[in-house]
Structure 1
Amino acid sequence: MFLFTFPSFFAKLRYKGSIIAAIVAWVMMYGCFELGAHTGVNGFIYAVLPFHGFCFTFFFVSGQLYENEKALARLRNSAQGLISFATYGVGKYLGMLIAGNVLDRYTVQNAHNWVSVWIVPFVMAAIVLVGFSLLFRENGKTLKIDIPVGIEDKNTNFFL
């Protein structure tokens, strides 16, 4: 559903607004997990499903579009590969290490303290929201690199 509605939202929100909306949904998603753990109400857990779809669509699609606009044409495939490696490789690995440590920290005698477990990603997402809102400049300067004539494109792609 969110993939189909994304273009109309993106036309109004652009990159920064779309990514901020995704991070806000991310904070709300972890807040619902925490509230569900705290109150025992399953409705909070079910509410997470649409938030996840919204987060994924708005965050990753906006990021891919931004990269496609900013990268040099001959480097777009490499940039897409780097984003995939960072998110689905390094990011997933580090996320699993952090999540495992958080779960271990809030587990006593095989009983998990889910309220404390879900507060950690909630706070982390809130910090990312504030940091991104303050630091991201959508209309920042684009780096222009002049490549001397005669250098083959295939030899310079790796270093750009």
Structure 2
Amino acid sequence: MGGLGLMFFLLGMSPGFYVPALTNLLSERGFDSMVVQWAWLSGPVAALISPLCVGALADNRFSGEKVMGWLGLISSVLLGGAFLVLDLGCPAWVFLVLMFLCAIISAPMWSMLASISMAHLRSGEREFPLVRLGATFGWAIAGLITSFVLNADGTVVSGYAAAGVRLLGGFAAFYLPSTPPPGRSRSWRTLLGMDAFRLLKERDHLVFFSVAALWSMPVAAFYMWAPKHLAELGDTKASATMALGQVSEVVAMVLMASLMTRFRVKTLLTLALGLSVLRYALFAWSGMDGTRTGLMIGISLHGFCYTFFFITAQLFLDRRVPIEMRSQAQGLLALFSGGIGSLIGTIAVRQLYDFAVVGEHGSWTSYWSILAAVIVMITVGFVALYKGVAPSNPSR
């Protein structure tokens, strides 16, 4: 467990340095919301392309730890290059191209590490949340270092730090437990990850993946625009404030070990959706009273929202999907949530920002209120449509 936890720590620490700082960094350099949107679109576009294919290769051709290692090394070079060209004052498109390439290479790393972990843990439902805590600690510590040690909330230093940690993680991945491919297929359909779409024939799988995509749309606003709202309210250490979400994530991860054995998947997913509504309602409150109180409380709920949804989702798939398709299933989750959902969401929340905040149509209050209302509708649809029926081809 120790090596897996360390790998999660390094994997979480890298984006923890630059993700919370990205919007404010680009804004301070004079880029408008369109450049911010394209920078944030790199992840969703990448999630449409690489996680499913890479997961299929790991299921059928290459050892998982070797795939992880090479993804980490290559993406670290691209990430460092992206912030270097930004530092040198190159045109925005050069930075964006490198960010897109980095995202395409690194996008499968989260789902790959989840699959490797579950292949070696004796009890995934009890042990995986504890191992996954490494990423939470890594992200939180990176945010604190960015704000209080590096003073890099608005500088490219946060990007350089992220690239350095990613490089270290790439080397560390080669020392993960050996995870040979469990499958033997050589068909192009399988190697491209197309077999994973058969999971959508199950009603609950279809509802689950659809809700993951829909929920990811309003959630795209969290790291993209919450730091901007904090900065407008006078918070000069927004990266550290955003780390409050990782503090609650620690609590949520510890609770997951027992919650998964006591409650149905539907209950935990519904709880995550409900807390997401409350989070954005609190953000809207900050928009009304002009203080950071609602934002800080809402950010503190992030860990519960994220953990109760995505960690439950990953364990749900590991429980229901045949072993030879588990990396592909995790890749399919990345495609629906981090790809389709986040892609549409990133564009939509930027347009809503221009309308509500820049265009002063209710400002931050209406911005967050609209997103909260969207999640309410998603929650109602999930509760009505998800039945919790056992799969016709159970994995165990």
Unaligned runs of 5+ in 1: 146-160
* 2:351 alignment partner AA: N
Give 1:112 shift.
7.0
RMSD: 2.0
Distance of aligned partners of 1:109 and 1:26 in 2 relative to their CA distance in 1, 3 Å threshold: closer
Partner Cα separation in structure 2 for residue 79 and residue 28 of structure 1? 30
Partner Cα separation in structure 2 for residue 31 and residue 104 of structure 1? 20
Distance of aligned partners of 1:124 and 1:69 in 2 relative to their CA distance in 1, 3 Å threshold: same
Unaligned runs of 5+ in 2: 1-250
User: Which residue number in structure 2 is paired with residue 66 of structure 1?
Assistant: 316
| 2:333 equivalent to 1:96 | no
Give 1:5 shift.
1.5
Partner Cα separation in structure 1 for residue 300 and residue 256 of structure 2? 14
User: Which residue number in structure 2 is paired with residue 31 of structure 1?
Assistant: 281
* 1:143 alignment partner AA: S
Could you list the per-position Cα deviations for residues 1-41 of structure 1 after superposition, in whole angstroms to 9, with x for gaps in the alignment?
Answer: 21111122222222011111111110000110011111223
Report how many residues are paired: 144
Could you list the per-position Cα deviations for residues 91-148 of structure 1 after superposition, in whole angstroms to 9, with x for gaps in the alignment?
Answer: 221110110111122245578711111111100110111111111111x142349xxx
| 2:123 equivalent to 1:123 | no
Distance of aligned partners of 1:142 and 1:36 in 2 relative to their CA distance in 1, 3 Å threshold: same
| 2:396 equivalent to 1:143 | no
Aligned counterpart for 1:57 among listed residues 294, 307, 315: 307
Partner Cα separation in structure 2 for residue 109 and residue 45 of structure 1? 21
User: Which residue number in structure 1 is paired with residue 382 of structure 2?
Assistant: 132
Aligned counterpart for 1:22 among listed residues 250, 256, 272: 272
* 2:374 alignment partner AA: M
Give 1:55 shift.
0.5
Partner Cα separation in structure 1 for residue 316 and residue 260 of structure 2? 11
Give 1:48 shift.
1.3
Partner Cα separation in structure 2 for residue 141 and residue 12 of structure 1? 17
SS in 2 for 1:143: coil
TM-score, normalised with respect to structure 2: 0.34
Give 1:46 shift.
0.7
Q: Which 10-residue stretch deviates more, 56-65 or 11-20?
A: 11-20
Higher relative contact order (CA 8 A, sep 6+): 1
* 2:379 alignment partner AA: L
Partner Cα separation in structure 2 for residue 111 and residue 17 of structure 1? 36
* 1:80 alignment partner AA: Q
User: Which residue number in structure 1 is paired with residue 332 of structure 2?
Assistant: 82
Partner Cα separation in structure 1 for residue 255 and residue 376 of structure 2? 25
TM-score, normalised with respect to structure 1: 0.81
8 Å Cα contact 2:355-2:361 kept in structure 1: no
Distance of aligned partners of 1:9 and 1:144 in 2 relative to their CA distance in 1, 3 Å threshold: closer
Aligned counterpart for 1:2 among listed residues 252, 260, 275: 252
| 2:323 equivalent to 1:40 | no
Partner Cα separation in structure 1 for residue 341 and residue 328 of structure 2? 18
8 Å Cα contact 1:103-1:112 kept in structure 2: no
Give 1:49 shift.
2.1
